[in-house]
Amino acid sequence: MDTDFKLYMILLGCKPKGRFTEQHDIFFGIGTSPEALKEEMYAFWPDAGTLHIDSWREVTTVEGCTIKVVPRKSMRPGGDKLFFINLGGYRPGDFEEYHYKMIMVAPTMAEAIKKSKASAFYKHFGFRGAESHIDDKYGIDVDDVYPVEDMLAPHFREKYALELAAAQNPREDILHIGYLKIGPV
């Protein structure tokens, strides 16, 4: 068993051909390090050109739960799941849409959405006529919340599952913020 495999959340950046500004997307992968997932990142975003990492996180603890990568065949159904939510919001006078990316533990999408509405970002990055929202929608809509397992490439989903358990001494994950060049495949 690949006992050293971890779940990684990576903010990818690139400037695709024909674009004027840098573009971003979130990638979830299972591996031993962000660098070890380079081929999977390029497969995820094949028309990106040259990718780089703007930030990354080894996902080990979320909301008091430990997150472990386990063989799919050993996973029991039911229980809490890990959800990714991308909130979008605005500030008066700023020609920008700000984003806040969250990972939440909840038994259902509806509960994850409810929890996201309680976030400081949701409350403070919106104003009349430009309310905070989960990306692509005004207001909260379950279509824009994703179970993290569903965001993994099929070969990861076939082999692995994410096991959530109450953490004894939860420690926040380290957020690695800043440009990391990964180069072409």
**83: which residues sit within 8 A by CB, 6+ positions away?**
103, 104, 105, 106, 109, 112, 145, 146, 147, 148
pLDDT of residue 74: 86
Q: Residue 171: phi, psi to the nearest 5?
A: -125, 140
pLDDT of residue 136: 63
Which of 56, 153, 154, 34 lies closest to 103 in space, CA to CA?
A: 56
Provide the token pair at 36.
Answer: 């070890």
pLDDT of residue 185: 79
pLDDT of residue 127: 74
pTM value surpassing 0.75: yes
Give the pLDDT confidence of 103-136 residue by residue, as tens digits: 999 999 889 988 888 888 877 777 777 777 766 6
Provide the token pair at 174.
Answer: 């380290």
Which of 138, 132, 135 lies closest to 118 in space, CA to CA?
A: 132
Low-confidence spans in the chain with pLDDT less than 50: 1, 140-143
CA distances, 56 to each of 59, 91, 150, 174 (Å): 9, 26, 19, 9
pLDDT of residue 65: 95
